[in-house]
Amino acid sequence: MALIEVSSAKLAEFDRGILGLALDLELAKAVADCRDRPAEKAAREIVLTIRLRPNPPDLTGDVDGVDVEYSVKGKHPPRKSKITNCGVQKNNRLVYADLAPDNHQQRTIDELTEGEQ
């Protein structure tokens, strides 16, 4: 088994290629979010964190090895809905008008009684 040097050029191959797959997955998610919400101008981020922990020193006091772990994390702008105006009922429940999300008190034609027509 040959030893492989860890370098930025070979980073995608680290951990049997799993790191590269994780980066590709987060990149695909970020691109999909851009396509889904092109009006959202906030940046999508992909953060790669690499942690190195030295192994206990050998008899000479030199570090013989390090444990390496990584994490890949995507950051996307939060999804925000439009504002819906809700009324508060006496039992502390919220209600809204499905056909008039800007005014919960708005009545619609289907609610009119014969005398109001």
User: Which whole-number Å values give the CA distances from 3 to 6, 16, 41, in the listed order?
Assistant: 9, 13, 44
Contacts of 64 (CB under 8 A, 6+ apart): 55, 57, 58
Q: Partners of 69 in the beta sheet? A: 51
State the chain's maximal CA–CA distance in angstroms: 98
Give dist(CA 84, CA 88) in Å, integer: 13
Average pLDDT over residues 14-26: 95
- What is the pTM (predicted TM-score) of this model? 0.68
Q: How many CA atoms lie within 13 A of 64 on its CB side?
A: 7
Task: Looking at mean pLDDT, say which of 47-51, 60-64, 104-108 comes out highest.
Answer: 47-51
Give dist(CA 75, CA 69) in Å, integer: 20
Phi, psi of 101 (to 5 degrees): -65, -10
Q: How confident is the model at residue 114 (pLDDT cuts 50, 70, 90)?
A: low
The pLDDT tens digits for 53-80 are 999 888 888 888 999 999 999 999 998 8
Whether the predicted pLDDT of 22 surpasses 80? yes
